[in-house]
Structure 1
C-alpha cells in the first residue's frame, strides 16, 4: 500500500476552504481509489464540485492533494492546516526543498 504525506480538508458543512484541514500520512490502495487516514476510509469520487474523496461511512466530502511549498494548499486560498506529529518531520523537510517521501521523482 502506498503511503504519502498529503493535505486533506473536510468540505462537508463548511463554506469554501473554511473546513478543518490537516497535513497527514495517507495510505492508498493499489488502485489509488481508496485512501485511509485518521481512522477513515475515503473513496475517490468524481463529479463533486469542491471535493475529490467521500468518507464511505459518514458520506462527508474531503479534498485531498499533495502539499504545496508555498502553503497555498486550499483549493481557493491559503489555510493553516494542523500538522500531524508523525508527518511534521517530512513536511518541514519538504518545505525546505526536500522531495516528499515516495515522490522523489515528481
Structure 2
C-alpha cells in the first residue's frame, strides 16, 4: 500500500512509504508500523487517521507509474520487506492477493 503523512505538511509534501498494511475484517481499521489507523471520510486530503496521535494520512494502492502523490514530486520510501513485491508490481505483476483481479 501507499501511505503518506498529511498532518503538518502542505498538500502532498509529507513523507510517504510503500509497505504492507494489515486490515481488520471490515476494512475500517488498518495497522502499519505499529500504528492503528482508522478510516475517516471527513477529511479533504486524508482518508485515515492515527487513533493515538490524530495524525492524518492518505492510504491507497500503489501506482505503476509512481505518481502516488497528487501535486508534487515526492521520494517514496519502500519498506525492505515489501521491496520485492513492489518491484514485481512495477514490472507488471499483480499485487499479492490481487492475482485474479
Fold equivalence (TM over 0.5): yes
SS at match of 1:36: strand
Q: Is the 8 A contact 2:30 2:37 kept in 1?
A: yes
Q: Is the 8 A contact 1:71 1:79 kept in 2?
A: no
Q: Is the 8 A contact 2:64 2:89 kept in 1?
A: yes
Q: TM-score, normalised by structure 1?
A: 0.91
The CA distance in 1 between the partners of 2:70 and 2:23, in whole Å, is 21
Task: Give yes or no for the alignment of 1:65 onto 2:60.
Answer: yes
The residue number in structure 1 matching 2:16 is: 21
Unaligned runs of 5+ in 2: none
Aligned residue pairs, count: 101
Give the CA RMSD over aligned residues.
1.0
Unaligned runs of 5+ in 1: 1-5
Q: Which moved more, 1:54-63 or 1:67-76?
A: 67-76
Q: TM-score, normalised by structure 2?
A: 0.96
SS at match of 1:25: coil
Q: CA deviation at 1:94?
A: 0.1
Q: CA deviation at 1:104?
A: 1.5
The residue number in structure 1 matching 2:51 is: 56
Hey, which of these two has a bigger chunk of strand by percent? 1
